[in-house]
Structure 1
Amino acid sequence: MAAKAAAAELWAQAGLPPSALAHLSLPPSPSPPPSSFDVDAAAQAVVGVAALAAAHLHALRTRDDLSAVTVLARDAAAEFRSQDLALLGGESAFEWDALAGAYKAKLGGWIRPHTNWRHHKVGLLDLLDLPHDASKAQLAEAFASRDADEVAEAAMDRGLVCTALRSFEEWDAHPQGRAALERARHGPVRFSTSAPRPPRALPASTSRRPLDSVRVLDLTRVIAGPVAGRVLAGYGADVLWVTSPSLPSLPGLDFDTSRGKRTLQLDLRSSPADRAAFERLVRDADVLLESYRPGGLASLGFGPERLRELNPDIGGPWSRRKGFDSLVQFASGFGEAEGRAWSEWRSGRADEEDGTGEWAPRALPCQVLDHATGYLTAFGILAALYHRSTSGGAHLVTTTLLDTATWLRSLGRTDASTSTEPFSVHLETQEELRARGGTARLRGWEGKEVEYVEHAARFEGDVEVGWRTAPQAYADGAAEWLARGE
């Protein structure tokens, strides 16, 4: 399915005016990323609908004509690799843990743990009776004698993050796979009624940012949720990113995903003052963006009913299952399918061995599920703000990595046996992106220069997007909203 068709489907699911799609241009990609899946079309489509929704809100607020939006595939693909292409103080900051990757299990099985969080890594090594300084070879030996499904289930029972490899056929037969197919959806759901709240007027002469004065309380971590908040910040929202001082962090990701946000740390478990500050922020927020596991925020005393008591008009709570892009790819069929497509493209035989005695699973060329989920979340929130303005009510936007995986799969694939693509092109390097003007700089994390990937959407007319600032630390702001219009 082409990017334009995918965008039209998402736009319709969100209940937005179909006439606006005439203002969205998504030119076909002359050189798609190295994958058998339509990664470039997915990136173009989700960046495109989010940008068009922002332009639509801008037109609603300024009473001006709807701006045309263009998204080039190579720009969207670069934005989907932002954590790999961004530099902090001139150096790449994002690294996978040394134990990350796919491992053979017994009877031809494969298993993949997530070890970037130290407590997940230590818990897995304890489960396998390995020392905390175990090498990758030691971990491979431990996995090789164990059943992949049994280890994955034991790990998940302990709150760890680990999964076995499945094919699409195995995933479709799995209860979770069937549930994902049945519930996949994209778009806001109205969960309470109230009169329409027309957005504050936005005279073109004083502000050109679509989400100027929109307040977003961002409680997300890792990639998908923070990307959604970063998109909204790029469109002018006042995004206050709240983390906990008691939870681990990933600075190598956070310096890039926090662009445009203000940061704050609150202890919602044991500090009455912090809980009171959080309640004050909720009361005046337009959007609550959260990526706790279902029930996680409720366990802190801030379930849906309490949040609605604090702010009946809040739009866009966001939650997803505990999971990571790399593991969802591995569990839901993409790792197996991409590995076989790579082997087939390379050798002409689907069972060609990969130099180790067998084919191997292969990841997609970027963390497309994370980034697409972030953009789909931002798009859902923008659609919810539009519906709140025109028909009233508060809206719930729920996105999951599995929803996004189901959607990506529906876009189709390239036939690797009959095409010089999909694996013959290389991924764009940071130097190549910079040379074509695809990066920008600002002062941010730890006072260092942040060089980041520019936003892929281009707007015609008097619309300003992008990031003006970046935080320097996890607690770089106050527990208060900016005055409207600042």
Structure 2
Amino acid sequence: MATPSAIEPSAWTGDLLASLGRADSSIQHTLSITGHDPVIATRFRAGEAAAAVLAANATAAADLWCARGGRPQRIEVDVRAAAASLVSFAYLRYQNASFERRGLATTALYRARDGRWVHLHGGFSSREGTLALLNCDDDAGAIAKAVASWDAQALEDALAERGVCGAKLRSADEWRVHPQGMALAQVPVVEILRLGDASPEPIPGPRAEERGARPLSGVRVLDLTRVLAGPTCARTLAEHGAEVLHVRSPKLPSIEGFVIDTNPGKRSCFLDLDRKQDVEQLRALARDAHVFSQGYRPGALARRGFAPEELAEMRPGIIVVSIDCYGHEGPFAGRPGWEQLAQTVSGMALEHAGDEHPALVPAAINDYTTGYLGALGVMRALARRATEGGSWHVRVSLARTAMWIMSIPRTDPDAKPGGFDAASIAPWIIEMNTAWGPLTRLGPIARMSETPPRWDLPPARLGSDPPSWR
């Protein structure tokens, strides 16, 4: 049977922090990670990996607190609660109901003519392009028949040529020798790259002894992201006190449950970047921001004048966050993708369930963990900017996160998943009054003795606030 791993996740936390420039510090926080995997029904140590990243986040936030004059902190992370955070949308209760995810025929694994599998992802705007390519109705049987007329690689290539989502199922060994997998293997799980020169900036906001001070008080974050990793990054910054303004286009579709899940602690506005005046408004917001986080397809915002280098020119000292599926260099870098496709290409889905009936890990394991990693990169970049100056670019991706999780030894094959029960998760359930009425949900997971993480604002309806800082 699997035994508790009280040491390993803490070691992963230390490795992550060291890789981001935090050497053995004179600041000595007390860290405790309790519990062990398996919690979710997979041999991947998803809960322990998430706990290690959340502990790194809390440590980075506690370091910023000490930079304000605060005391070192006692930090505690529970593995079962961290695992629950990978399906946090499942804990939403509002309007006397829970959030139910509806499956789409265009988002599923199908077997191709050559016996290989392809995961289509016809969500949002990809649905029409997927059906047009397959020349079939939006029906699982019709889609299966159409996919069976293609070889897997040819279908993946055709989907990419049309700019819609989909990927061939690969083993970890296949991904390891694929040009994209090889490109990702050359970069750390969180990249922090210097964009340009700028004078050092102290951590903005009040000193620790001032009323209302928190680790990220005074830090302004522009959140141009949607489902799920990007919004999770900014949500994590909000739980440590950052002022987050979520910016969305009024033209883009959304999934209400995911908005409610990832938008606490934020205000939300609409800007239409097809309108010149809205582009100028975003520029004005960026000039007063500390962090600009974006999760759209690589190049989408660059075409609008918001490439990382351009942001560093208009606002020296800014921290830009780029979050995508496949990574930021390599032949797949410009392709759109989601959680399901990161699992598909990396070998995670194949190892989880086998090639006869492949299936995904039953959690948004890469989405949420990548969001946490992005927030970790931001906080470490803020610390480095305070001493080194500079503008910084934080880069994370779902596929690179999957590769990191897959680098961790598996649980014992005979271990039974602990799962979730109401009593074990109850200490992390919070209540909020929202625009949707009373809401219960999973709250922040990390416990911190001096600055307990919290969200000061309930989730906002999209576009319910003006495009301005408080």
Deviation string for 1:109-129 (max 9, x for gaps)?
111111231x21221111111
Q: Which residue, 161, 167, 184 being the options, matches 1:163?
A: 167
2: CA distance between counterparts of 1:183 and 1:64? Answer: 34
Matches within 5 A, 1:431-442: 431-432=422-423, 436-442=426-432
Q: Does residue 33 of structure 1 match 2:40?
A: yes
1: CA distance between counterparts of 2:152 and 2:102? Answer: 22
* Residue aligning to 1:470: 458
Q: Does residue 182 of structure 1 match 2:182?
A: no
Structure 1 residues 336 and 447: alpha-carbon distance in aligned structure 2, compared to 1, 3 A threshold = closer
1: CA distance between counterparts of 2:243 and 2:310? Answer: 23
Q: Does residue 455 of structure 1 match 2:452?
A: no
**Alpha-carbon shift at residue 314 of structure 1 (Å):** 0.8
Structure 2: which amino acid aligns with 1:480?
Answer: S
Whether the 8 Å CA contact 1:319–1:399 is kept in 2: the answer is yes
* Residue aligning to 1:349: none
Whether the 8 Å CA contact 2:65–2:208 is kept in 1: the answer is no
* Residue aligning to 2:375: 378
Matched positions, count: 451
Deviation string for 1:335-383 (max 9, x for gaps)?
111113xxxxxxxxxxxxxxxxx83112113111111110000000000
Structure 1 residues 433 and 154: alpha-carbon distance in aligned structure 2, compared to 1, 3 A threshold = farther
Specify the SS of the correspondent of 2:163.
coil
Q: Does residue 192 of structure 1 match 2:196?
A: yes
Whether the 8 Å CA contact 2:94–2:436 is kept in 1: the answer is no
* Residue aligning to 2:328: none
Deviation string for 1:404-423 (max 9, x for gaps)?
1121111122342xxx21xx
Whether the 8 Å CA contact 1:443–1:469 is kept in 2: the answer is no
* Residue aligning to 1:443: 433
2: CA distance between counterparts of 1:361 and 1:389? Answer: 47
Structure 1 residues 104 and 21: alpha-carbon distance in aligned structure 2, compared to 1, 3 A threshold = farther
* Residue aligning to 2:31: 24
Unpaired stretches in structure 2, ≥5 consecutive residues: 1-6, 326-335
**Alpha-carbon shift at residue 441 of structure 1 (Å):** 1.6
Deviation string for 1:218-276 (max 9, x for gaps)?
1011100000010011111110000001222222211110111000000112x222122
**Alpha-carbon shift at residue 459 of structure 1 (Å):** 0.7
Matches within 5 A, 1:298-447: 298-321=302-325, 322-340=336-354, 359-416=356-413, 420-421=414-415, 424-425=416-417, 427-428=419-420, 431-432=422-423, 436-444=426-434, 446-447=435-436
Matches within 5 A, 1:272-311: 272-311=276-315
Deviation string for 1:75-101 (max 9, x for gaps)?
111112112222232322241433132
Specify the SS of the correspondent of 2:222.
strand
Q: Does residue 10 of structure 1 match 2:7?
A: no
Specify the SS of the correspondent of 1:183.
coil
Whether the 8 Å CA contact 1:44–1:71 is kept in 2: the answer is yes
Q: Which residue, 45, 58, 75 being the options, matches 2:65?
A: 58
Specify the SS of the correspondent of 1:372.
helix
Whether the 8 Å CA contact 1:88–1:449 is kept in 2: the answer is yes
* Residue aligning to 1:107: 114
Q: Select between 183-192 and 387-396 the one with higher mean Cα deviation.
A: 183-192
**Alpha-carbon shift at residue 28 of structure 1 (Å):** 4.0
**Alpha-carbon shift at residue 189 of structure 1 (Å):** 2.2
Q: Does residue 258 of structure 1 match 2:263?
A: yes
Specify the SS of the correspondent of 2:268.
strand
Structure 2: which amino acid aligns with 1:328?
Answer: A
* Structure with a larger share of its residues in strand: 2
- TM superposition score normalised by structure 1: 0.88
Structure 1 residues 138 and 21: alpha-carbon distance in aligned structure 2, compared to 1, 3 A threshold = farther
Specify the SS of the correspondent of 1:316.
strand
2: CA distance between counterparts of 1:210 and 1:90? Answer: 35
**Alpha-carbon shift at residue 305 of structure 1 (Å):** 3.6
Q: Which residue, 226, 231, 234 being the options, matches 2:231?
A: 226
Deviation string for 1:430-451 (max 9, x for gaps)?
x4566x332112122x432232
* Residue aligning to 1:48: 55
2: CA distance between counterparts of 1:272 and 1:278? Answer: 10
Structure 2: which amino acid aligns with 1:324?
Answer: W
Structure 1: which amino acid aligns with 2:60?
Answer: A
* Residue aligning to 2:98: 92
1: CA distance between counterparts of 2:375 and 2:460? Answer: 24
Unpaired stretches in structure 1, ≥5 consecutive residues: 341-357
Q: Select between 160-169 and 307-316 the one with higher mean Cα deviation.
A: 307-316
